[in-house]
Amino acid sequence: MAEISREYMEQIAQMWNARGKGLITHMALEIENVSSEGVRVRMPFNPDFCVDKDQTLLHGGILTALLDSVFGLANFVTIKGVSSMATLDLRVDYLRAARSRADVIVSAHCFRKTRHIAFNAGNIWFDGHEDAEIARGTASFALTRGDTSLLEAMTKGKAS
């Protein structure tokens, strides 16, 4: 697989920050690393995503949302010429209670891509506790090929 240029990585990071609205913006995701091997993203602790009164236990659903988002990013950087994609299905295992106020780290990659479908896997842990995974997931995505990349569409969407 070809290495991803620094310029392209910066464009991707810009696209994520340029969304301006929606869940990904609300999650305040920070791209830590992008390569052809996969992506690593940080989600800062957010009390809105907790289920308990003390706000220390994350809801499983936000971990699922995080995996779904980062799978999309992994596909976007790995597969060229995709104009849009849609999650086909998603499976998530919650490996232990997500109780911490630490940042959440998610690592995801695309392990197989075809003309129409991408297959992804990823895992989640609290920063500093990579040995204690809190969730693991797999997903498949339906890809729509086209000349207008997702990046261009986003940039235009922002400009208009």
Partner 1 sequence: MNLQTVNANVARVPFFRFLNFEVQSMDDFHAEAEMTFEAHHIGNPIMEHYHGGIIASFMEATAAIAVQPDFTEVPAKPINLTVDYLRPGVKGPLYARANVTRKGKRIASVSVITWQTGREKQVAEGLYHFLLV
Residues in contact with partner 1 by the rule CB under 8 A:
19-26, 47-53, 55, 57-62, 64-69, 86-94, 97, 153-154, 157
- Least Å distance, CB 127 to partner 1, is 20
In whole angstroms, give the CA distance from residue 14 to residue 22: 15
Least distance from partner 1 to the Cβ atom of residue 130, Å: 21
How far apart are CB 91 and partner 1 at their closest, in Å? 5
What the block records as the tokens of 92 is: 């998530």
Considering the complex, state which of residue 22 and residue 131 has its C-beta at the smaller distance from partner 1.
Answer: 22
Whether the Cβ atoms of residue 75 and residue 120 lie closer than 8 Å to each other: yes
Q: 135-145 and 117-126 as β-strands: parallel, antiparallel, unpaired?
A: antiparallel
Q: What does the alpha-carbon distance between residue 135 and residue 132 come to, in Å, rounded to a whole number?
A: 9
Strand-pairing partners, residue 117, are 142
Q: Taking the complex as a whole, how short is the minimal distance between the CB of residue 2 and partner 1, in angstroms? A: 27
Let me know how long the chain is: 160
- Residue recorded with tokens 């990071």: 13
The tokens for 138 are 């797999």
In the complex, the smallest distance separating the C-beta of residue 106 from partner 1, rounded to whole angstroms, is 12
Smaller CB separation from partner 1, 35 or 149: 149
For residues 96 and 128, which CB has a smaller minimum distance to partner 1 in the complex?
Answer: 96
C-beta of 69 vs 78, nearer to partner 1: 69
Q: Which is nearer to partner 1, 4 or 153 (CB)?
A: 153
Which of 62, 59, 60 minimizes the C-alpha distance to 27? 62
